[in-house]
Amino acid sequence: MAKWRYEKTQRMKPGHGWKAKPGYQIIVADRGAVRFDVPRTWIFKLETNEKTGLTTMTLHNRPEPDDDCRLQVTHMYLPQGYDWSSVSWPELLEQAVTEPAESEPLGRSPAIHEQRRDLELAWTETRYLDAREHREARSRFCLARRGDIVVLFTLDYWPEHARRFLPVWENIMASLRLGEYIKDPQLGPGH
């Protein structure tokens, strides 16, 4: 199970080599087990599930309760020695995805499967009636794997903000790297 340490600010050393799209920041967890980019202004916090012991990163586009979008990221390690190539990631994602409690499901897109060299991912989107707000909400889920690392992304947003947040989702997916470990995050990759 992943143990996370978070430092609010880390000064980067000259020539660190990290590159993000303008306006974005790089999130690196567990020394490179998971890496992706999010907008620079997003707010970050860690939460540990008492039942599972898994730590989840949660990022909001603004401070709560004024946020319009939430990204949750949980990563874990698969048991070694099992051949995961026969597992259907779209089917596994379908089984893992559930709408929030007390919500009314409105629909789900078929799972999209993508293979990028040694990174496999599946994603889907659900529509549901938010019980608190009494309006439609949407969630995108992605289950990605490389080697023994699995990460689950959940992006929650209101449909009227799709133009703002779907490009963020696309950038997260495009920048996603798993299992690219580094010795010192302040030095960046290649050191």
CATH of the domain at 47: 3.40.1000.10
Q: Is residue 188, in this structure, part of any structural domain at all? A: no
CB within 8 Å of 167: residues ≥ 6 apart? none
What does the mean pLDDT of the chain come to? 87
Residue 48 maps to a domain? yes
Question: Residue 149 sits in which domain range?
Answer: 24-178
Instruction: Judge whether 45 lies within some domain.
Output: yes
C-beta separation of 76 from 1 below 8 A: yes
Count of the separate structural domains present in the chain: 1
Least confident span in 68-72, 75-79, 80-84, 97-101: 97-101
Q: Is residue 16 part of a domain?
A: no
Answer whether residue 1 shows pLDDT above 60.
Answer: no
Residue 185 lies in a domain: no
Query: In this predicted model, what pLDDT tens digit does every residue of 124-174 receive, in sequence order?
Result: 999 999 988 999 999 999 999 999 999 999 999 999 999 999 999 999 999
User: Does pLDDT of 48 surpass 60?
Assistant: yes
Residue 131 placed within a domain: yes
Indicate whether 18 pLDDT > 90. Answer: no
Q: Please enumerate in sequence order all residues whose Cβ is within 8 A of that of 39, keeping only pairs 6 or more positions apart, or say none.
A: 23, 24, 25, 61, 168
Give the chain's end-to-end CA distance (angstroms, integer).
26
Mean pLDDT of 3-15: 58
Whether 5 is in a domain gets the answer no
Judge whether 18 lies within some domain. Answer: no
Model pLDDT, residue 11: 62
Question: Does the pLDDT value for residue 91 go beyond 60?
Answer: yes
Q: What is the pLDDT of residue 2?
A: 45
* Statement: residue 75 has pLDDT above 80: yes
Residue, of 174 and 84, whose pLDDT is higher = 174
* Residue 53 binned pLDDT confidence (cut-offs 50, 70, 90): confident
**pLDDT above 50: residue 120:** yes
